[in-house]
Amino acid sequence: MPLDDMTPEAPLPPLPPEEELSALAKTFYDKVYAHPWIGRFFRHVDQARQEVKLVRFLLLSWGDASFGSYQGQYLREEHANLYITDELFDLRQALFAETLREHGHGGALVGAFLAFNERWRSFVVKRSVQECEPTYPGEEIVVVPRPA
């Protein structure tokens, strides 16, 4: 994705307060960890740590176009060994939208979050397992087949 495309066309609405972001992250990751497919990527990952990372990512990146290339590279490295398909990314988007609605947020904020998340798709989605790379020697490539 060209870095120029990282800038949203319209300004993003303000983020909810940090306490609300933490509650959103908790609900979101409760859904993710419980999901029979996407949850398997997180079997050995501390949920509380993931929640903190998501809140930090949102606070640093939301509405800061100059931060886009840095955050995109960070996400690429963080997900380098994970075989994440478009279908998995779409599932994540759906779980995130569901979470926002459960917390009482409506169309404008849901749309803004989905558009914000969409900016990062090309940094994490891979077309094949061959695009996955370990980030350190001996790191496993993680492939989680879709459950039947």
- Angle (CA) 143-144-147 rounded to 5° is 155
pLDDT (tens digit per residue) in 31-68: 999 999 999 999 999 999 999 999 999 998 897 766 66
- Which of 109, 119, 105, 116 lies closest to 13, judged by CA? 109
pLDDT in tens, 3-27: 334 444 567 899 999 999 999 999 9
Is 0.85 surpassed by the pTM of this model? yes
And the tokens for 94?
């759906």
